[in-house]
Structure 1
Amino acid sequence: MPNYVKFKRDKVDICNICLQKRQLTWDHIPPKGGVEFTEVEQWNIMQHMVEKNTKHIPSQNGVKYRTLCQECNNSLLGAQYDPVINSFAEDVGQYLKSSLIIPEVIRFKTKPVKIVKAVLGHLLAAKGELSFSNQDVAFREYVLDHDMKVPRGYKVFYWVYPFNNIRIMQNFSMMKVKGSESGRHGMFSLLKYLPIAYLVTDLEYYEGLDELTQYCINAPDTEMEIPIRLNDLKNQVWPEVDDYNVLLTGDDIGVFAKPKIRMIKQR
């Protein structure tokens, strides 16, 4: 398995979202302005899952990809969608860190359309190689069109992710384990960082997770209350690593990153 993760292309190249040949900029995941990851150690996620003691790739300012033009990075994601997903992450994170007694379900008011567009936009950015899969073509159109409804046949699910690391996985196939559709394979992309994880799939349901896209029925600026369930916490490698699951993918599908551990010098 190759020991690499591709984070950038030429300084002037095709933008992963608008497909125009322009000066490319660095897109940060998670987006800047929300939960901050500074110095991190990064691995090819498949290599990290199956091998031990592999060499990491350092980064002084988080996980980032040079794959977006300035307009898509700053004017589109940065100005329109990232403030909403960042505010949502901050609100949930602050609640989890509070000393209050936390109920099984809490509700937060947010703009779900803009969160979904942010998730899909950053997943598009998180690819060193330009992709023209049916999924990516649909997601590009949705992110670029302010008023477009969620592409038919795709769902975004979410759950609490109380772990201080980042996991990004793209275009992999996984089997549905439980329920009426048990045994059916679906296509997935995954974005997990403190405090929420997002799972994009072509399946109608997945393991009882809450669906974010069901709230995307109105204009992007419409606020709605969505539930956050704290009574069904998943471990940090769920659902991609499971004794009862089968995962089909290539070698270079994403990134695992965690904050750099600093050694304390002894006097």
Structure 2
Amino acid sequence: MGQYSREISKRIQHTRIKEGYCLICGKFGALSKDHVPPQGSIQITKVEQKHITELMGDESNSLKGVKAKNGSIFKTICSACNNEILGKNDSEISRVHKELTVLIRAHFEGPLVTPTMLSLDIDAIRYARAMIGHILAATSVSECRTEPVDAPYFKPLQEFVLGENDAIENTHDIYYWFYPHKKHLSAKMVGFHNEGNMTILSLLSFFPVAFLVTQKGKGTYPAHARRLKLTDRKMHLSLSMHNAKFVDFPFIELTGNSFYLLADQQCIVSYPVKE
């Protein structure tokens, strides 16, 4: 048994729960299964989950991930927040990502040369509300076992997801960029230090968009990222691979006076596997 426990991802310790405190509204009760990425935005397949820290080092390939037959699932929010709050906004993620996928396929596979900068309509509030909601949910069930306290970084995000449009206006910035991979990255909280600037950031990356939330005015982000304002009516996504080595930001090779701090159970990678 000891040998087996060392060979499977520690993620298995953070998935099993029936009831607890919802990580969006804070109420105690039965918890529901939230798909991250949301259903409709990607093709649902069998996946494995690992902590991002488990992909670092020589033993990463031999470690077994936690398997799920129907996509990456987190049981950390109540059914009301899942179905009524996120559910009504997930359709905007689905629409945007499906339209982007068609345009991206035409760019890389079509017979004609197409622009590397894509533009399409977006309801920025609905899109951001759903993405941030899934960021809050994509973590360990251990966070649901204790009564929540108001945290300066998370409280405005929770209020925004619950419907207060101006809640994050003075506390957070949002950035996005082209994410070309099949794997999905979720990071609820990472402390990132870069040449004297320290910020807290959160992330949800799945094809074709990486979505980053940082502290207001302190953002550290890839040079090719664009800021998303809640008043935006268009999303502009560059397909240029000039900065390809930074698409997995913040989990990138560090140089100079840079480092990041994280709790492994809050930073998870999901990747499709064959049946």
TM-score of the pair, normalised by structure 1: 0.85
Match for residue 124 of structure 2 among 112, 115, 124: 112
Distance 1:258 1:175, change over 3 A: same
Distance 1:146 1:111, change over 3 A: same
The aligned runs of 1:69-84 (5 Å cut-off) are: 69-79=78-88, 81-84=89-92
When structure 1 is superposed on structure 2, of 4-13 and 15-24 the one drifting more is: 4-13
**Equivalence for 2:28:** 21
When structure 1 is superposed on structure 2, of 235-244 and 249-258 the one drifting more is: 235-244
Query: Is residue 136–residue 188 contact of structure 2 (8 Å, CA) maintained in 1?
Result: no
Compute the RMSD of aligned alpha carbons: 2.2
User: Quick one: which amino acid aligns to residue 4 of structure 1?
Assistant: K
Which secondary structure does the structure 2 equivalent of 1:32 belong to? coil
Query: Is residue 36–residue 72 contact of structure 2 (8 Å, CA) maintained in 1?
Result: yes
Query: Cα deviations across residues 27-55 of structure 1 (Å, max 9, x unaligned)?
Result: 00010111123101111111123342212
Query: Cα deviations across residues 75-112 of structure 1 (Å, max 9, x unaligned)?
Result: 11011x11101111111111111215231312110101
User: Quick one: which amino acid aligns to residue 117 of structure 2?
Assistant: V
Task: Kindly state the Cα deviation for residue 243 of structure 1 after the two structures are TM-superposed.
Answer: 3.1
| Whole-Å separation in 1 of the counterparts to 2:165 and 2:259 | 37
User: Quick one: which amino acid aligns to residue 57 of structure 1?
Assistant: V
**Count of residue pairs the alignment pairs up:** 249
Task: Kindly state the Cα deviation for residue 7 of structure 1 after the two structures are TM-superposed.
Answer: 4.8
**Equivalence for 1:239:** 250
| Whole-Å separation in 2 of the counterparts to 1:124 and 1:186 | 18
Query: Cα deviations across residues 216-235 of structure 1 (Å, max 9, x unaligned)?
Result: 13xxxxx7112111224534
The aligned runs of 1:75-224 (5 Å cut-off) are: 75-79=84-88, 81-98=89-106, 99=110, 100-127=112-139, 128=141, 129-130=143-144, 132=149, 133-176=151-194, 182-202=195-215, 203-204=218-219, 206-208=221-223, 209-212=225-228, 214=229, 216-217=230-231, 224=233
Task: Kindly state the Cα deviation for residue 249 of structure 1 after the two structures are TM-superposed.
Answer: 1.7
**Equivalence for 2:48:** 41
When structure 1 is superposed on structure 2, of 188-197 and 233-242 the one drifting more is: 233-242
Query: Is residue 122–residue 234 contact of structure 2 (8 Å, CA) maintained in 1?
Result: yes
| Whole-Å separation in 2 of the counterparts to 1:12 and 1:225 | 39
Which secondary structure does the structure 2 equivalent of 1:72 belong to? helix
Query: Is residue 103–residue 118 contact of structure 2 (8 Å, CA) maintained in 1?
Result: no
Structure having the larger proportion of residues in helix:
2
Which secondary structure does the structure 1 equivalent of 2:132 belong to? helix
Which secondary structure does the structure 1 equivalent of 2:154 belong to? helix
User: Quick one: which amino acid aligns to residue 173 of structure 2?
Assistant: K
Unaligned runs of 5+ in 2: 1-5
User: Quick one: which amino acid aligns to residue 67 of structure 1?
Assistant: T
Query: Is residue 7–residue 66 contact of structure 1 (8 Å, CA) maintained in 2?
Result: no
Query: Is residue 139–residue 151 contact of structure 1 (8 Å, CA) maintained in 2?
Result: no
Task: Kindly state the Cα deviation for residue 3 of structure 1 after the two structures are TM-superposed.
Answer: 3.7
**Equivalence for 1:256:** 269
Task: Kindly state the Cα deviation for residue 255 of structure 1 after the two structures are TM-superposed.
Answer: 1.2
